[in-house]
Every structure is written in structure tokens, then in C-alpha cells.
Structure 1
Amino acid sequence: IMLSLLSESISNASFGIYMPRFAGTIYEVLSAPISAIEIVIGYVGAAATKS
């Protein structure tokens, strides 16, 4: 059970990072007036609460 949980959490986090890149919507994130640390905090927070 634990292995499945860890595998799904990594899968969800990586999907949230790579899918916008493949879809071409990563430019919206990069052009937003926020710092790099705020982007990282947003992705880490989303990955932590999504799993």
C-alpha cells in the first residue's frame, strides 16, 4: 500500500510540472510577474495537497 501511495504521489507531482510544458502553457507561468521561488512554492504546495 505504501509503495503504491508513494508512486502515485510522485506521478501526480511530475505530471503537474511536465504537462504544462508539453501543452505549451508554461509560458503563462514564466511570463507572470512572480518570482521563481513563488513558482516553486506553488508547485510544491500543489503537489503536496494533491496527493
Structure 2
Amino acid sequence: MSIFDALKMFSATSVKVTCPKCAYVSEQSSSKMRKNITMICPKCGHYFRPGEEK
């Protein structure tokens, strides 16, 4: 395994994100969290950013 394969493995991990509207917990990729990309709740369809408050 090269160092690049090891880095890919760590960057492809998923994290649990809680929807601020319905409190549903879903798994999202950690790269979306680092880039602060707008996410969509799979349960209620609410658009939110990981760092936003209600």
C-alpha cells in the first residue's frame, strides 16, 4: 500500500450528521464536511450546511 492509498482511505471516511430541522442522523462523506458543502437531509429534504445553526 502506498502513502496515497492510505490517504485516500482516510479521506473516504463517513461521519454522522444531524439535520437541524428534523434531528435525523445520516452518514455523509467527511470531504463534504471539510468543504462545507450544502447537504440535503434524506428524510425531510431540508438543505443545510454542517456548521449552521437553526
Same fold flag (TM > 0.5): no
Structure with a larger share of its residues in helix = 1
Q: Higher relative contact order by CA 8 Å / sep ≥ 6: 1 or 2?
A: 1
Q: TM-score, normalized by length of structure 1?
A: 0.32
Q: TM-score, normalized by length of structure 2?
A: 0.30
Structure number, greater radius of gyration: 2
